[in-house]
Amino acid sequence: MLSVKQFAFNHFSTNCYLLWEQESKECFIIDPTAEYASEEQSLSLFIDQNGLKVTRILLTHAHIDHIAGLKWAYEKYHLPVTTHVDSKKMITKSAMYADLMGFAASDFSAIEYDFINGGDRLSIGADSVECRYVPGHCIGSLCYVIDDPKMVFTGDALFRGSIGRTDLPGGDHDLLMEKLRYEILSLDDDTVVLPGHGECSSIGDEKNWNPFL
């Protein structure tokens, strides 16, 4: 059985999630978004107090607000960054544009990677996480599906009542809509949607009420 804890970090209020398997205490950090030392401490304190063992640093995508704490997480937990190969290109670009977005510049050049793609499954204790490739908001975007309980981490592909913007470099509105239709909206209606910003939702609610869908 998997459990999840949501944090909202940095001046973009970007969600960071901890996902862990209850028996083994194996834990994924999904989008290390911590910008400030107090946010890093909040995340690491929760991990320590609950006896969790971080086994993956997992990215939905590599816009700067989603990787604000990537260097810190990488250096603290000594793990390669698990992401799509195209996100490596995005990390370099995001570092270049960090200052324009109000983030401190970070040097990501020493980071090691574990590349994944749609259709891969990642083990976490006795459970697993399914990777689904959903570009369109940006290149290299992945969503992560859990069977029990039914959840999907959508990054910035799908929000409560909205979808990811597609006017930034690498965005493609038609591609995003196609991928959402086949990869995400095909999930059961009672699947909980855990987005990169804002509150959670469900697939059923988004089918019924999201004006972009």
pLDDT number for residue 137: 97
- The helix (H) or strand (E) run that includes residue 30 is strand 26-30
pTM above 0.85, yes or no: yes
Give pLDDT tens digits for 30-54.
Answer: 999 999 999 999 999 999 999 999 9
106-113 long-range contacts (CB < 8 A, ≥24 apart) are 106/70, 106/71, 107/71, 108/67, 108/70, 108/71, 111/70, 111/71, 111/74, 111/80, 111/81, 112/80, 112/81, 113/80, 113/81, 113/82, 113/83, 113/85, 113/88
pLDDT of residue 192: 98
Token pair 């200052």 is found at 99
pLDDT of residue 96: 83
Single-letter amino acid, residue 132: R
- Report whether 155 contacts 149 (CB < 8 A): no
Pairwise CA distance, residues 70 & 48, whole Å: 19
pLDDT above 90 for 204: yes
Does 92 score more than 90 pLDDT?
A: no
User: Which CATH number do you get for residue 54?
Assistant: 3.60.15.10
Mean pLDDT over 180-186 rounds to 98
Q: What share of the chain is helix, strand, coil (3-state, %, to 5)?
A: 30, 30, 40
Structure tokens at 65: 């607000």
Domains identified in the chain, total number: 1
Q: What is the mean pLDDT of the chain?
A: 96
Q: Which domain holds residue 99?
A: 2-209
Q: What is the mean pLDDT of residues 133-143?
A: 97
